[in-house]
Structure 1
Amino acid sequence: MKIGLIGTGRIGAFHARTLQRIPSVSDLVVADADTVRAVALADTLGVRAAAGIPEMYAEGLDGVVITAATSAHAALIHQALDAGVPVFCEKPVALDVAGTLGVVERTRAGSVPVQIGFQRRFDAGYRAAREALRSGELGWLHTLRACTSDRTPPPAAFIPTSGGLFRDCSIHDFDILRWLTGREVVSVYAQGANRGAPFFADGDDVDTCAALLRFDDDTLATVTATRYNGAGHDVRLEVCGSEGARFVGLDDRAPLPSAEPKLSWRQAADPYDSFMERFHDAYVTELGRFTEVAAGRTPSPCTPADALEALYVAEACERSRRTGAPVTLAEVRDTAGPTTSGG
């Protein structure tokens, strides 16, 4: 199987190394708008760098993995679909609803599969919690508490193109809550704050946020995120039901220093430093699944339509943060912009 990879930054380099270890991937070719960076990664890994993206498709690919800048995602997906090549694209599909809708409609109208990279769906802890909930072991849900906390902030240059904390970061929580519960969010109330570097406010963003979500069965969820979690990279989910609970992310490297004097465990000496450490195994499983999708052996486990639903929640949270009022998902859908053809 020949796989192309577009985008050779940090996550692109990580995915390239992962693809090399998948037995069914016999040939890997990389491309980037920054050809120097693409050649450097290719030389490091002992693979080939294409002269450009059109040249890469001209070679004939069985699948393509897109890890380029978010602003380029939708156009690159359309380009792959034009070439008839199965696509894996890191989230989000696009920074806005209109661009995402364009990809959703294009995908639905064709037969080329597209998988969007929400890696938490492949994490063992989230999958175990989902199984416990779906089996009835937890009873009926009353509360979900999700957090995504980066240890250190991203570079200032990333903020203006990120889409904001809800669209860039908390969108993972929105997707996994939908996937785990099988329910839809109907309303949100969100707040944001800036106590860190001024470049967040300068970029019309926040460095910390909190949102209260109500689902269509009246389950409540809280979602929090920050760019400044000094204890370490912390991603967890508490799934609390009438008969039991599951706590995802509560492992030996969870950055949870306790204030209690009587405790049989202590925080690990090496808490997670980044999302790539926290979800290493999930990323590997996710890309392995994509090779099955590209080979036609399984349907996409996370479609652009799934990504659109998570984006609707992020959009509602951003509106709520700016207005200071609750926002329903129906409002967001009703005021969604016109679709775009992309490409």
Structure 2
Amino acid sequence: MSEVVLGLVGVGRIGVMHAKNITALNGVLNPEGINVSLRLTDVAEEHARSVAAGLGAEFLPSVEALIASAVDGLVIATGTATHPELIKAGVDAGIPVFCEKPVAMNVADALPVVDDVRDKQGVVQIGHQRRFDAGYLEARRAYQAGELGWIHSLRAVTCDMTPPPVEFLAGSGGLFRDCSVHDFDILRWLTGREIVEVYAKGSNNGDPAIGEVGDVDTALALVTFDDGTVGTVSATRYNGAGHDVRLEIQGSRKSLMVGLDDKTAMASAEAGVDFPAGEAHKTFAERFDQAYRSEMEAFVELILGRRENPCTPEDAVAASRVADAAQESLATGLPVRVAQKVAR
């Protein structure tokens, strides 16, 4: 194959980012003579045409037209509610699919999708970009190599600098499903263990409208793994210091922190300490710029048959099970066991 043609559905904020990364792949793959081209569609036709023109991509008027144009892979960057039907459309067409997390709004809705993909032997990569971040990759390598010893504590942090629009939050499924699901995924991926129980608390001290749509602006979850290890996962929409994503791994031999660099969104209270000296990231797109690029490169390699699927629908559903349990705990105020199976 000398050319890979990707079809992109959805050109909102993250869709435009994917579109730019796709069109930049030629520079990555050129040594082997492989070209990557982009076709895209969105219900916001005028905006989509503008994005396509700016990137030298081709606009098509519908998902059906996009798939019928014989693309080699389908990239889904639309709202969560549309993910199941679009995944099905790509799998039915026999083409590999990349879909932003999650598979569906909740696990119960995701399981039929997973079954359908498996039954049809489809190829679907879910977008958990932290698996491609250099810091997380190094932490996983160090742990698997035994350099940390056994883990006694994990502390994961995801902090947005400012909240997204309330309209988005109303359909996001809640802070744990929207934000912390990335932490739940990376904790499973890094440790190789399952989270079996969650106890969550949350608060709303920012925009009252966030509470009015049933969400919280700040939350903390105590998670317990299947071997008894404990950890915390915290998230907020109001981290004025900047976008802050970190993971602290404390082991019996050594401790590591992912995300501790000159752009870390915090300051030391100790005299004479001026680290970090850089300007903090403002958004997730800046924080994970290279990870998103590597993620899309991996999808092309998956299409070409050069690598295993780096994040399957089953992986994504496992993280979503934890997020569902966290949302339930937040609502009930009680610890919740993480379901291994969800009734249809």
What is residue 325 of structure 2 aligned with on the other side? 316
Give 1:38 shift. Answer: 1.1
- 2:36, 2:137 → 1: CA distance? 30
Deviation string 1:91-145 (CA, Å, 9 cap, x unpaired) is 0111111221012111221222100000000000001000111111111110000
Assess if the C-alpha contact under 8 Å between 1:160 and 1:203 holds in 2: yes
Question: SS at 1:296's partner residue?
Answer: coil
The answer to whether the 8 Å contact 1:255/1:268 transfers is no
**Partner secondary structure for residue 297 of structure 1:** coil
The question of 1:195 aligning with 2:208 is answered no
SS of residue matched to 2:126 = strand
Partner of 1:8: helix, strand, or coil?
Answer: coil
Match of residue 12 from structure 2: 9
Match of 1:95 in 2: 105
2:305 aligned with 1:302: no
What is the aligned partner in structure 2 of residue 217 from structure 1?
227
| CA deviation string 1:11-60 (max 9, x = no partner) | 11111010011124432101112212211111111211001110111110
In 1, distance between residues paired with 2:36 and 2:158? 36
Matched residues, percent identical?
50
Give the distance between the partners of 2:343 and 2:106, measured in 1 at CA.
9
1:229 Cα deviation from its structure 2 partner: 0.1
Report the equivalent of 1:282. Answer: 291
In 2, the alpha carbon distance for the partners of 1:110 and 1:57 equals 17
- Residues of 2 paired with 1:160 and 1:74: CA distance? 19
* Per-residue CA distance 1:141-196 (angstroms, 9 max, x = gap): 10000000000000111011111100000000000000000000111100111000
**Deviation digits for residues 262-285 of structure 1, max 9, x if unmatched?**
32x333342100000000000000
CA drift of 1:83 comes to: 0.9
Letter in 2 for 1:177: L
Look up the equivalent residue of 2:321 and give its one-letter code. Y
2:22/2:37 contact within 8 Å kept:
no
- Given that 1:113 and 1:299 are in contact with CA atoms closer than 8 Å, whether structure 2 keeps it comes out as no
Conservation of the 8 A alpha-carbon contact between 1:104 and 1:304 = yes
Q: State the 1:337 CA deviation.
A: 4.1
How many residues matched?
A: 334
Q: How far apart in 2 are the matches of 1:26 and 1:166?
A: 35
Alignment of structure 1 residues 122-133 onto 2, 5 Å? 122-133=132-143
- d(CA) in 2 for partners of 1:337, 1:50: 39
5+ residue gaps, structure 1, are 339-343
Which amino acid counterpart does residue 39 of structure 1 have in structure 2? R
Q: 1:163 aligns with which of 173, 189, 201?
A: 173
Deviation, 1:82, is 1.1
In structure 2, what residue type is equivalent to 1:144? L
1:1-343 alignment runs, 5 A limit: 1-23=4-26, 24-263=34-273, 265-329=274-338, 332-333=339-340, 336-338=342-344
Instruction: Report the Cα offset of residue 296 of structure 1.
Output: 2.1
* CA distance, structure 1, for counterparts of residue 207 and residue 15 of structure 2: 27
For 2:152 and 2:115, the matched residues in 1 are separated by 35
Is the Cα–Cα contact under 8 Å of residues 66 and 76 in structure 1 kept in the other structure? yes
- Where 1:30 maps in the other structure, the secondary structure is strand
RMSD of the TM alignment (CA)? 1.1
Distance apart, 1:206 and its partner CA: 0.5
Which structure exhibits the higher relative contact order, with contacts defined as CA atoms closer than 8 Å and separated by 6 or more residues? 1
Please tell me the residue identity of whatever aligns with 1:303.
T
**Could you tell me the TM-score, scaled by structure 2's length?**
0.95
Partner SS, residue 95 of structure 1: coil
Q: What is the distance in 1 between the residues matched to 2:261 and 2:278?
A: 13
**Which one is further off, 316-325 or 165-174?**
316-325
